[in-house]
Structure 1
Amino acid sequence: MTNSLLIGAIADDLTGATDLALMLARNGMKTVQVIGVPTEGTSFGDAEAVVIALKSRTIAADDAVAMSLASAMALQAAGAEQFIFKYCSTFDSTAAGNIGPVAEALMDFLDVPIAIACPAFPAAGRSIYQGHLFVGSALLSDSPMRDHPLTPMRDANLVRVLQAQTSARVGLIPLDIVSAGPASINALLGKAQQAGFRLMIADAVRDADLRVLGSALAGARLVTGGSGIAMGLPENFRQQGRIGAEPVPERMAAPKGKPVILAGSCSTATRGQVQAAIDAGRPALRIVPADVASGVQSVADVANWVLKHTSTKPVLVYSSDEPDAVLAVQEKLGREEAGLLVEQLLANLAVILRDNGFTRFVVAGGETSGAVVAALGVQALQIGPEIAPGVPWTRSIGEPDLALALKSGNFGAPDFFLTAWDLLDD
């Protein structure tokens, strides 16, 4: 029997995995998203691409490496031919990792001498020029990401950022080489490898650049980057006659049940979406970490509020706050503790709501989405229609039967919480 699994991907958070799965599905691959490291003997069916969603972005680097290698082993055992290590389009990381350590470990495991690193996603406003990452028209270091509560990004020079995380020598594929085409890219990669480079930041400012990079990487065993880097990879297999075209549906059937929005992200985009929902008259309850820590605000209290205010339209539970307020909470409770308090409350809340007839969830924030999906017991997802660039509706495979929109904090228009539901059918 011919092996169907062509691309095996490892993503460092849940919303990023969903973003990548959407990219592969939109470009014609039968794609399945799996939650967590697969158990031994896991079958991926007839999937042509499998995306494993980990919660490894902000954990200890050694733990992130171990989870990523275990996932790579499972994908290799299933016959994957090309591997993707997916991280955020804003390169969310610290000086200790985890992008560099995981990339280097995967290169060693797969016996890859050199690999590219390209988080560019022009459709979401992320572009790379001369190795510098831009968010819209601003350098990463001048964007709201400089105040991210877990991974503040205060250097836009990705060569420098990545070099601080790895012993591998980091170089650059500049835009003029990318624009010159696949042959020029591969020629530079060959020279860079001979010169001792192992990881190469690749410039990209348009979708066309990502497709050129995809063509150049037809034979690459490992590719690292944001979801955008996968844009051109399926076409390589299509030209070989190994995949057809699996269009992403424009609408999705959803299980009957009540809707809710859970927002744990404090990003600028999510804060705007929270405000838009409040301005539109949606019932909204704010989670206050200090009150959760003191016991003043409990998950039972929040669940009772949701049940009391629920109608046919979704209510909103959110912890989103301004950067200064988030910093004050972190200083009082500890950075990790503050985040975990909110994640755990929202995860426990999701379980109570599921048991009370809620089947449709919009969840904002990568860490929050990971905690919620794990608590709900979801093991795999099928990809549905695109709500916004990088954010699809998904439906769980198996039990529990749920419709889930898992949104990176930075993604989506201001009306995202209001319009996402328009793509669901009963």
Structure 2
Amino acid sequence: MLLGCIADDFTGASDLANTLAKGGMRTTQFIGVPAEPAAGDCEAGVVALKSRSIPAAAAVAQSLAALKWLRQQGCRQFLFKYCSTFDSTPQGNIGPVGEALAEALGTRGAVACPAFPTTGRTIYQGHLFVKDRLLSESGMEKHPLTPMTDPDLRRFLALQTKTPVGHVPWATVDAGPDAVKTALKEAAGRGETLVIIDAISDADLFTIGAALAEAPLVTGGSGIALGLPENFRKAGLLSGKGSAFTPVDGPTVVLAGSCSGATREQVRRHAAQHPGLALEIDKIMSGTLTPDQAAFFLMERIRLTPICYSTATPEEVKAVQDRYGREAVAEAIEGFFGELAVTLNNRGVNRIIVAGGETSGAVVSALEIDRLDIGPEIDPGVPALSGSRNGPLALALKSGNFGAPDFFDKAAAVLAGKGVGGMGTEDKSAGGAA
């Protein structure tokens, strides 16, 4: 293994794996820290953790365990992947994990760059933008778990770290890889462990990537990996074997737990064309709606690519959290979707499309899949994935804000190997609320 990656959630892991696979690296996504060595032909390994919203100390411990395993695989470089909207709290977990990894590797001056221009995430003068809005005005300030109210990444990251936070401005990036390398070396000399670096285009990310050829540690969103495969290619280390993804024949279900604006629109569109089961949180909390009942509804309509969803506006989410408590609601919904996915797979569903990082983590953990092969890109940042449970299993794990309005139909087509847009609509009926 050449590049060892640690991702703080499951959709972020597949997003990063997608970037590396497109760059020509034979890539495998591992679910949690593996107990066995990676396959000998794995060039990039992405260890998917569910550590974004847990206590910082636990996130550090899990990340160091992943680093230990990746070092045992012989990796030459390591990457800590977090969300392109820098999802975290003033207590962590980006800063604590980044510093712990840097300390373990004996390095400072590590890039911290969540930029992903393809999806509108750019950094200028240390501030994170989502399209034409500052992060704090993008809707992320209302996130139920990690509300992002400060777009100044230097200031926000400084709340989480013990050492100073550096910054490399866009003018330095525009000057080329050598200028970036010099700036990072100077930052390390000043004792700055993590260094925010500006990037407003993919070209900037390729420039930064070229500057990081010898960097022990890189941190950021999936975009920071754009230029890394080329470093290994220039060194003659890539095999050129490509992806091991295999499409799967069988029924498809969509499970949506994200409350982002993008997912709500995707759910609205899909439920207008396919049967849909809207989950009522009060019924989940009281136990009057069970995963088995939801599975029965979906299996009755399984030929029609049904959707089961728990989406709401930020105001509705807050009202539910006020009634039951934020952690209790999150645990109940994630547990419901995880058990539902297992029940559906046990009944023959072998293509599952999941929307939402926390929901994806719950589903994959419940299915107890240990590794996934990376397939073709469905939409920017979201690849098709294949694994095995009760036979072949295909997955799409979508971060809440990713994907076009028709993402679910496109994903169903790609998982089946039919190509984007290959799925027709068999029925116009939508289901009811539960």
* Band the TM-score falls in, shorter-chain normalisation: over 0.9
**CA offset digits 1:119-166 (Å, max 9, x no partner):** 000011111011111111111000111111110111111001110001
TM-score calculated relative to the size of structure 2: 0.94
Distance in 2 of aligned mates of 1:113 and 1:159: 16
Whether the aligned pair in 2 keeps the contact of 1:378 and 1:400 (CA below 8 Å) is: no
Q: 1:386 aligns with which of 358, 372, 377?
A: 377
Equivalent residue runs for 1:219-298 within 5 Å = 219-247=214-242, 253-279=246-272, 281-298=273-290
Superposed, 1:175-214 pairs within 5 Å as 175-214=170-209
CA–CA distance in structure 2, aligned partners of residues 191 and 304 of structure 1? 61
Partner of 1:7: 3
Q: Secondary structure at the match of 1:33?
A: strand
The within-5 A match list for 1:49-68 is 49-68=44-63
Give the equivalent residue in structure 1 for 2:294. 302
Partner of 2:24: 28
Q: What is the aligned partner in structure 2 of residue 335 from structure 1?
A: 326
In 2, distance between residues paired with 1:70 and 1:15?
Answer: 20
Question: 1:374 maps to what in 2?
Answer: 365
CA deviation vs aligned residue, 1:246-294 (integer Å, no higher than 9, x gap) = 4559xx6433321000001111110110011122x21111112221111
Q: CA deviation at 1:186?
A: 1.3
SS in 1 for 2:392: coil
Deviation at 1:194, TM superposition (A): 2.1
| Other-structure match for 1:114 | 109
- The 1:232/1:260 distance shift into structure 2, 3 A limit, reads same
* Cα-to-partner distance string for 1:204-228 (whole Å, 9 max, x where unaligned): 0100000000000000000000000
Partner residue of 1:315? 306
Q: How do residues 79-90 of structure 1 correspond to structure 2 at under 5 angstroms?
A: 79-90=74-85
Residue 259 of structure 2 aligns with an amino acid whose one-letter code is C
2:14 corresponds in structure 1 to: 18
Q: CA deviation at 1:422?
A: 2.2
Letter in 1 for 2:143: H
Q: Which runs of 5+ in 2 are unaligned?
A: 419-434
Task: State the distance in 2 between where 1:366 and 1:285 align.
Answer: 20
SS class of match (1:149): coil
Q: CA deviation at 1:46?
A: 1.4
Residues 254, 360 of structure 1: 8 Å contact kept: no
- 1:155 paired with 2:150, answer yes
Contact preservation (8 Å) 2:345, 2:390: no
What secondary structure, in the 3-state scheme, does the structure 1 residue paired with 2:171 have?
Answer: helix
Residue from 52, 70, 75 that aligns with 2:70: 75
Q: 1:343 to 1:56 in 2, by over 3 A?
A: same
Stretches (4+) displaced over 6 A? none
Distance 1:85 1:379, change over 3 A: same
Displacement of 1:241 in angstroms is 1.1
Q: Does 1:96 align with 2:87?
A: no
Which residue of 333, 338, 343 maps to 1:347? 338
Q: Distance in 2 between matches of 1:275 and 1:112?
A: 47
Letter in 2 for 1:380: R
AA aligned opposite 1:387: I
Say what the alpha-carbon RMSD is for the aligned residues.
1.4
Paired residue type of 1:178: V
C-alpha separation in 1, matches of 2:152 and 2:259: 24
Query: Which residue identity lines up with residue 55 of structure 1 in the other structure?
Result: K
Contact map agreement 2:165 2:194 (CA 8 A) in 1: yes
Aligned CA distance change for structure 1 residues 399 and 237 (closer, same or farther; 3 Å): farther
Task: Give the Cα separation in 2 of the matches to 1:291 and 1:154.
Answer: 32
* Kept after mapping to 2: 8 A contact 1:34/1:51: yes
CA drift of 1:237 comes to: 1.1
- The 1-side partners of 2:250 and 2:327 are apart by 34
Structure-2 residue corresponding to 1:414: 405
Task: Give the counterpart letter for 1:29 in structure 2.
Answer: M
Query: Is 2:35 the partner of 1:44?
Result: no
Deviations 1:343-399 (A, max 9, x none): 111110111111111000000111111111111121100011100000011101576
Residue of structure 2 equivalent to 1:125: 120
2-structure distance, mates of 1:44, 1:367:
28
CA distance in 1 between partners of 2:412 and 2:6 (Å) = 29
Q: Which amino acid aligns with 2:351?
A: R
Letter in 1 for 2:48: A
Cα 1:91–1:400 change in 2 (3 A) is: farther
SS in 1 for 2:386: strand
What is the CA deviation profile of residues 18-39 of structure 1, one whole-angstrom value per residue up to 9, with x for unaligned ones? 0111111100111111000122
The question of whether the paired residues in 2 share the 8 Å contact of 1:32 and 1:44 is answered with no
Amino acid at match of 1:52: V
User: 2: distance between equivalents of 1:191 and 1:78?
Assistant: 31
Alignment gaps of 5+ in structure 1? none
Contact 1:118 1:203 in 2 (8 A): yes
Residues 43 and 192 from structure 1, CA distance in 2 versus in 1: closer, same or farther, beyond 3 angstroms? closer
